[in-house]
Each structure stands twice: as C-alpha cells, then as structure tokens.
C-alpha cells in the first residue's frame, strides 16, 4: 500500500511539469516572434527612409517593441496574428495600430526617460505600454468606456504601474495632469486640437494623424518652441480610425 501511495502523486507532478514546459515554450515562441517583428520594422524603415529622413530607429524604441507582449493586448481570437506587422481589430470598430507605425510615432516623439506623456486613444493599451517602457509616466484617455476598462486591465496584468488611464474625450486632453513633454494621438483628426497644443510644454512634441477618414491622412509632427511658437511637419501617409467626441 505504501508503494501505491508513492505513485499516486506522479500524474499531478508530471502534469505540472508538462504545463510548465509548455508555458516556457510558448513564452520563448512569443519572444522569437517579437524579435522577428523588430527585424521587419527595421526593413520597413529602410524602405520608407525618404519619408522619414533616416534609415534606422533609436534602439530604445526597438527594444520596447521587442519587450512588450502585444499578444496580451489583442482579443484571444487575434493572438495568432499578434506579431504580424499590421493593425488588428479590438472591438467597437477600433484597431490596435500596426507596430511599424507605433515605432515611427515613438521615434518622432523623441521620448526621454524623465518625460510625462499624454496619449489620446488608449485602445487596448498596447501603445501606452510601449510608451511606459520609454518615459517616466503615461496618461492615456479612451472615449469608449468598455475599451478603457479592458485596457486598464491589460496594462495592470502586464505590470505597467506608471500608466494612468481614464475614460473621456481626448480632444480636450487631461488638463489636471498637464503640461506634457509629449503627446501622442492614435486617431485621425481634421485639425490639431487647440487644447492639446495648450497642454504641450514648450520644447515638447506632439504626434498626430491629420486628415479625413476616407481621404489622405498624414502623420504630423507638431513642435512647440521655447517661446510657444508652433511648427508642423507632415511625415508619412497613414490610415487611422477617426477621433470621436462632441467636438
């Protein structure tokens, strides 16, 4: 009977060992997929260098892309495609942005580790997580309440304690947390929202898609000089969902 008792726990031990091995294998596979994605982004940057005016990105940006688990920020049904270099649906007519575009936006922002950054359009929380790897604190606003809740859960599960989320109309920014060293807008607007310009620090940068939903859109770099003077530069054609709200 004693020998039988010794063997009774083996199936559980073996099952746990197999589960652990499987989890490690999955994690390693995702890591390999992220590195492959980084290499694809590098190639895309080379192909679009005439638009960007450069043929490589900051290693900090690429490291962030290679670290953040994009599969944690997409619906279960889309996880198989999480590391493809394309947008993916996240529900409510919204998408998670193409990783190449996320990387370009981060590059243009020129984030510093001490920065405070505002993101307009949280979506699933993926771009906020990338920002969280690059700056001190992120304030992100999502107008769709259910997406905002999901994103907060995604970010908490992924361990990003330096991201602050709220539900609201991002057109008006986050006045109580302003001013910001940088602002990133992840939906296309017909114009640059004046409240966001006001909340941008002198010396700060804003990255925003400008245009119309079914017409030409451009990623625009907005720079605010030390004296408050605003300059803009069109960077590259893009396609984003529209910025919504009462404005």
List C-alpha distances in Å: 97 to 57, 175, 238, 243. 18, 26, 11, 14
Q: Give me the sign of the Cα torsion angle 186, 192, 193, 197.
A: positive
Q: Is 97 a catalytic residue?
A: yes
CA distance 13 to 54: 54
Q: DSSP of the chain, one letter per residue?
A: -HHHHHHHTHHHHHHHHHHHHHHHHHHHHHHHHHHHHHHHHHHHHHHTHHHHT-S---HHHHHHHHHS-GGGGS-GGGGGGTTSSS-EEEETTEEEPPHHHHHHHHHHH---TT-EEEEE--TTSHHHHHHHHHSSEEEEEESSHHHHHHHHHHHHHTT-TTEEEEES-GGG--GGG--EEEEEE-SBBSS--HHHHHHEEEEEEEEEEEE-TTS-EEEEEEEE-TTS-EEEEEEEEE--PBP-S--
Set 23, 77, 97, 231: catalytic member? 97
Q: Is 142 left (phi over 0), alpha (psi -120 to 50) or beta?
A: beta
Q: Catalytic amino acids?
A: 97
């Amino acid at each position: 009977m004693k020998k039988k008792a010794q063997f009774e726990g083996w199936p559980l031990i073996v099952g746990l060992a197999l589960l652990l091995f499987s989890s490690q294998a999955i994690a390693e596979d995702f890591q390999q997929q992220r590195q492959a994605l980084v290499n694809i982004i590098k190639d895309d940057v080379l192909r679009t260098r005439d638009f960007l005016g450069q043929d490589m990105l900051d290693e900090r940006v690429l490291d962030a892309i290679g670290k953040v688990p994009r599969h944690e920020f997409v619906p279960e049904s889309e996880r198989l495609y999480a590391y493809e270099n394309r947008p993916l649906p996240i529900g409510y007519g919204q998408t998670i942005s193409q990783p190449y575009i996320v990387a370009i936006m981060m590059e243009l922002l020129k984030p510093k580790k001490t920065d405070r950054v505002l993101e307009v359009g949280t979506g699933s929380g993926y771009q906020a997580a990338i920002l969280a790897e690059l700056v001190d604190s992120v304030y992100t606003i999502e107008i769709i309440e259910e997406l905002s809740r999901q994103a907060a859960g995604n970010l908490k599960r992924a361990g990003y304690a330096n991201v602050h989320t709220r539900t609201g109309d991002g057109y008006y920014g986050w006045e109580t947390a302003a001013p910001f060293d940088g602002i990133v807008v992840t939906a296309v607007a017909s114009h640059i929202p004046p409240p966001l310009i006001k909340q941008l620090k002198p010396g700060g940068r804003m990255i925003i898609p400008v245009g119309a939903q079914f017409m030409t859109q451009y990623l625009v770099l907005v720079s605010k000089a030390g004296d408050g003077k605003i300059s803009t530069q069109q960077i590259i054609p893009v396609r984003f969902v529209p910025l919504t709200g009462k404005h």
